[in-house]
Structure 1
């Protein structure tokens, strides 16, 4: 992870980054931004000549490198900052991390009027875009390790930088967990990673339910999905409970550490990336650890139901009836609709035993999410207009994306079953919608304070894109931390 410092005066000027903003009217042109520190002689004039000569527009994420052999600084990096809002600065930070990947350190002189939000965006972009996941030492790796940000008053931006550092660190953790191949990652391994991460933070409590505990307490959905694997299921319960907290949020994340589809086996192309089917669990764990690291004044409990959905003689079958925590039964005719079964147990447990004020779940639940909304948007469901608006605002502020979807009453009849209380996987279309409606059946008297996000598509990036790097995105950590920070 990059080491980022706030300084009032630069200490190193070998490589200097400077912001460029777009034209602000028909008669103006893109121009370098006045920065907070004095620059070496001739740099201001040189940059002013470079901007029009290189046809820079100042668009966020635009970069230009200029070499100055034998002079100080020896290299200039011009970075477009767009209209200067947080999103533009996040994109600028991401572009800078890539443009400077062959440097060891850089100094970025910020504008005189840089806001804490701008600095937070910049730092998040730097950290998120510099992420790499590797299990081998072969091949090139970025050499950039240190970034100095020169600002007029470092103390003004300290909280913003700390929030960005925590967000970057917890997003990286979620990405690491999701990227890890399933030859290493199984329910027990995931639980051990949570235990290790929680040990570094005070005032967190952790309980990991083993298969025998799940059987004794009646978590039939988790047990059914994990029955086909030699690696038994787990339920991770992680709690951040600060003194004086008056609001309690439960976060639930789907944690299928590999999904073959079970007896309803997936075709090979659909199975190749199924190590990512626990990205929801990774996100809610990262958000809870982040809340503890930032000492947010809200109680947060995370439930991560973990299982491998494998094919074997002991795997659950299409047509089986599953009895969930609390006694509700589900008929399932598709063992590849397994995520909702483990989530149902966790939601029912949260409602009956934890009794939170708000209940939110994240899951890589359906391929229909991508069909409806593409690769960048999660599908958000809630009956509570205020809760939906608050979470969508946090998603937008964090630089992620979601779209609110309907919960139509007409589709509830699709959940009817002749064998059980519910049919978990009706084959009637609207797959993401009917999955959400099914989960709602387990929210009890928290139905009007529950929110579900199907984030299968945005949990994975096919290549580098702004602050995203190819592979797991850690989607949801940023949004949840922004939202939790608004609660009291």
Structure 2
């Protein structure tokens, strides 16, 4: 077996003047012990719900009377003047002043039907409007159940995110402090939901930071080093294979994809054991479920010899978004008290053009011996994932494997930019992931593993072709999933093709432009429920 190589993280291509992102910057969110009007924040925010079904006016929520008394305003009149409806994410801004108070502006924030989705959007809208003022105190989620409070804070933290910058230009101000004003009877119960929301939000921001870092800074070696660093600060075990150890171990897919780059590939394994004591892998005399997460870690994707057009290449620093999600999820497990054993596997490689690049028509041997006919070097993600999944099956004996990858343009053509494609070999697993997607705001749509299409991957020269040989089949996302299924060993498995929602061209609700971190919240929500 390959020995540990976590210390081997330097490469001649590294740039000493640049570095991977610092720890994610997220607002400090606390439960306030003072009334809303006495908060030391320039922004106060009240919730506004739509009119009752029978008609009438939108209804301002907790804190309204004290705000009206302190500042001499009529919130109902301001709502009517702005023609506000209380829809989720709607914000009315009202300047206020009182020499004895810190508040400068009042936001009236629509909360819609008070659902988790509506509150997540309300939190996102508040964060965007309050960003330039630095701090906010609010009663927006004071009546919400713990799930609603968590959704509100997750939306707020997500929308407050700012991409890391380099150079001399200042980063500008950001939202750094949020005070949640809650009734005294609800504060203790809210603390757990708040803690989980902030931990999840921090993980989301970490995944975004990794995806948004330029590829000249975040190559395979640097990303492997970051994984080892995260392990050291979050209580994980780390193992990193260098290129020589990958060759010794038979990881032909990772090596082939990375062969054309001056920066060598790496394979990262992070291992988490829950804080339960006793024998590793067992809890209370019962075997602990073992989950393996696999993330696509293509640091940059030029397409290789099957070269991408320039426009398609520009966002390809985010082609390691799935790998970034896995690293971010692994780093958050202990903070969330996840009770399952979890192993994260991320194969990092850069798909470039060089004298050693792999070619269309090559036959490569994946980990475990399966031979693969290469037909398109721009379908590289499934080759590195296949190595990691075959290794997981043969060496780690997991109960379930879940991979997450920006795998196919076909998935985004079919589902757009708001849903990830879900493939699964087990209905209960699929249902659990769908539920986690709905509750976390990262929605999935289940797709069929249509076995009638498997024949399109038959190869005359290898065990399997990695893309369809039959132009009449189409279904590129499905055939990619069918290829990956060959390397699961028949274990319970789910595949998340997130090529659409992993990137955004503009801010929308809790999504920010660039790498979105899609999959982080839903995987954490799912893992919190695995027993």
* Residue of structure 1 equivalent to 2:87: 59
* Residue of structure 2 equivalent to 1:434: 479
Of residues 220, 226, 229, the one that matches 1:196 is 229
SS at match of 2:268: strand
* Residue of structure 1 equivalent to 2:214: 181
Farther off after superposition, 111-120 or 126-135: 111-120
* Residue of structure 2 equivalent to 1:150: 181
SS at match of 1:272: helix
Q: 1:352 to 1:121 in 2, by over 3 A?
A: same
* Residue of structure 2 equivalent to 1:339: 381
Q: CA RMSD in A?
A: 1.7
Farther off after superposition, 299-308 or 187-196: 187-196
Of residues 446, 463, 470, the one that matches 1:404 is 446
What per-residue deviation string (whole Å, max 9, x for no partner) do you get for residues 284-337 of structure 1? 111121112212111110000110111011011111111011101100111111
Of residues 253, 256, 259, the one that matches 1:224 is 256
* Residue of structure 1 equivalent to 2:516: 473
Offset, 1:28 = 2.4
Offset, 1:26 = 2.4
Does the 8 Å CA contact 1:36/1:112 hold for their aligned counterparts?
Answer: no
1:320 matched to 2:345: no
Does the 8 Å CA contact 1:37/1:109 hold for their aligned counterparts?
Answer: no
Offset, 1:105 = 1.4
In 2: Cα distance, 1:219 partner to 1:297 partner:
31
Gaps of 5+ in 2: 1-25, 277-282
Farther off after superposition, 111-120 or 96-105: 111-120
Farther off after superposition, 433-442 or 140-149: 140-149
Does the 8 Å CA contact 1:222/1:342 hold for their aligned counterparts?
Answer: yes
Q: 1:112 to 1:275 in 2, by over 3 A?
A: closer
SS at match of 1:372: helix
* Residue of structure 2 equivalent to 1:233: 265
What per-residue deviation string (whole Å, max 9, x for no partner) do you get for residues 200-223 of structure 1? 212x10101111111111111101
Q: 1:59 to 1:253 in 2, by over 3 A?
A: same
Q: TM-score, normalised by structure 2?
A: 0.88
In 1: Cα distance, 2:260 partner to 2:411 partner:
27
Of residues 215, 233, 253, the one that matches 2:247 is 215
Offset, 1:68 = 2.0
Of residues 477, 483, 487, the one that matches 2:526 is 483
Gaps of 5+ in 1: none
Q: 1:353 to 1:140 in 2, by over 3 A?
A: closer
SS at match of 1:100: helix
Offset, 1:46 = 1.4
In 2: Cα distance, 1:313 partner to 1:409 partner:
38
* Residue of structure 2 equivalent to 1:284: 326
In 2: Cα distance, 1:238 partner to 1:362 partner:
16
1:72-91 superposed matches below 5 A: 72=101, 73-91=103-121
Q: 1:40 to 1:20 in 2, by over 3 A?
A: closer
In 2: Cα distance, 1:384 partner to 1:332 partner:
29
Of residues 23, 26, 43, the one that matches 1:15 is 43
Q: 1:286 to 1:143 in 2, by over 3 A?
A: closer
Of residues 179, 198, 204, the one that matches 1:165 is 198
SS at match of 1:381: strand
In 2: Cα distance, 1:124 partner to 1:136 partner:
30
Does the 8 Å CA contact 1:36/1:109 hold for their aligned counterparts?
Answer: no
SS at match of 2:45: strand
Offset, 1:88 = 0.9
Does the 8 Å CA contact 2:254/2:383 hold for their aligned counterparts?
Answer: yes
What per-residue deviation string (whole Å, max 9, x for no partner) do you get for residues 361-385 of structure 1? 0111111111111111111111211
What per-residue deviation string (whole Å, max 9, x for no partner) do you get for residues 125-164 of structure 1? 1110011112245256234211111101321111111111
* Residue of structure 1 equivalent to 2:77: 49
In 2: Cα distance, 1:208 partner to 1:167 partner:
26
In 2: Cα distance, 1:399 partner to 1:224 partner:
37
Does the 8 Å CA contact 2:50/2:86 hold for their aligned counterparts?
Answer: yes
* Residue of structure 2 equivalent to 1:3: 28
SS at match of 1:403: strand
Q: 1:390 to 1:150 in 2, by over 3 A?
A: same
In 2: Cα distance, 1:160 partner to 1:5 partner:
12
* Residue of structure 2 equivalent to 1:394: 436
Offset, 1:241 = 1.1
